[in-house]
Amino acid sequence: MGPITAVYQTTLKTPISCTGIGLHSGEKAVMIMHPAEAGTGIVFERTDLSNGARHFPARFDLVADTFLCTTLRNASGATLSTVEHVMAALAGCGVDNVLIEVSGPELPIMDGSSEAFVFLIECAGIEALEAPRRFVRVLREVQVRDGDKTATLSPSANRSFRCEIVYDNEKIARQSAALDLDDDAFKSDVSRARTFGLMEEIDGLRSQGLALGGSLDNAIVVDGDRVLNEGGLRYDNEFARHKVLDAIGDLALAGAPILGSFNGYCSGHGLNNKLLTALFENDDAWCWETQHTAPDLLAATA
């Protein structure tokens, strides 16, 4: 099931849940996705916190940390980590409104990709709502830079993503991947691409309290020219495809689908977030757009 390309807002038909562990915290995490009314957007809720501290709207301006994952911080100072893979699945499947309950400070990593979340969305089903969908249209090119690393949004009729990465590792080396979200290809071409890391970095990360839940079950581990995971890679360029997945999830924090073309060169969560900030700081670089189509579309997608 690809994204509903209709211009009506969508939600899930029924609640659905999963259980896993947090990649960095190593803590058990229970996640429940609930249908939500039009205009709600994507909202996370930590059920282990009091009512005044539990809500986390999925917004780029609430991103507090981007080291190895995307972390939100709400007005109370509470945080919620590793939201990008769930956000990518929702964007890739065309879901606009959902309330996501999480039992702790980090979302479950599952297998390190968005595949499990796409499966949950498919099982729950997608429902069109009687409200128009708003888009963010890119009007002129916006670019942010960190040394030779860049992230760029350009005007385009399509919602396209392209990422190129360069690693000082013979297995990863230089590779690129691209996806057009309007081609219903997210599930087959990107959703199964897993997060990855280098074997020589693991001890250092764990000494910082990171990657405590990481294993070969939820991340690709590269040691020199070898992939240590049984079965190897799912795609020849799985590393670059995962960067596309991350970019889709990070840019979904814009609060609406972006009509434009994303291009990342060695970009990550930090540059992706800075790109959204730069876009919305420039009023001449974007505009809201609401599209309309035939009135029988709701019946066709119900």
Per residue of the chain (302 residues), what is the pLDDT tens digit? 444 445 899 999 999 999 999 998 899 999 999 999 999 999 999 999 998 899 999 999 999 999 999 999 999 999 999 999 999 999 999 999 999 999 999 999 999 999 999 999 999 999 999 999 999 999 999 999 999 999 999 999 899 999 999 999 999 999 999 999 987 899 999 999 999 999 999 989 889 888 889 999 999 999 999 999 999 999 999 999 999 999 999 999 999 999 999 999 999 999 999 999 999 999 999 999 997 554 443 433 43
| Contact criterion met (CB below 8 Å) for 91 and 181 | yes
Query: Residue 218 corresponds to which tokens in the numbers above?
Result: 């939820």
- Do 140 and 283 belong to one domain? yes
pLDDT value at position 10? 97
Catalytic residues: 269
Q: Which residues contact 57 (CB under 8 A, 6 or more apart)?
A: 41, 42, 43, 44, 74
Q: How far apart are CA 43 and CA 55, in angstroms?
A: 7
Q: What is the pTM of this model?
A: 0.93
pLDDT value at position 293? 54
pLDDT value at position 77? 96
1 located within any domain: no
pLDDT value at position 42? 98
Q: How many domains does the chain have?
A: 2
pLDDT value at position 292? 58
Range of the domain at 121: 8-135+292-301
2 located within any domain: no
197 located within any domain: yes
- Do 262 and 149 belong to one domain? yes
CATH number of the CATH domain containing 67:
3.30.230.20
The amino acid that residue 264 corresponds to is G
pLDDT value at position 231? 95
pLDDT value at position 48? 96
3 located within any domain: no
Q: How far apart are CA 49 and CA 54, in angstroms?
A: 5
Number of H helices, E strands in the chain: 7, 21
pLDDT value at position 298? 40
pLDDT value at position 297? 38
Nearest to 113 by CA among 239, 280, 228: 239
CATH number of the CATH domain containing 169:
3.30.1700.10
Query: Residue 130 corresponds to which tokens in the numbers above?
Result: 């009687």
Q: How far apart are CA 205 and CA 130, in angstroms?
A: 47
- Do 160 and 130 belong to one domain? no
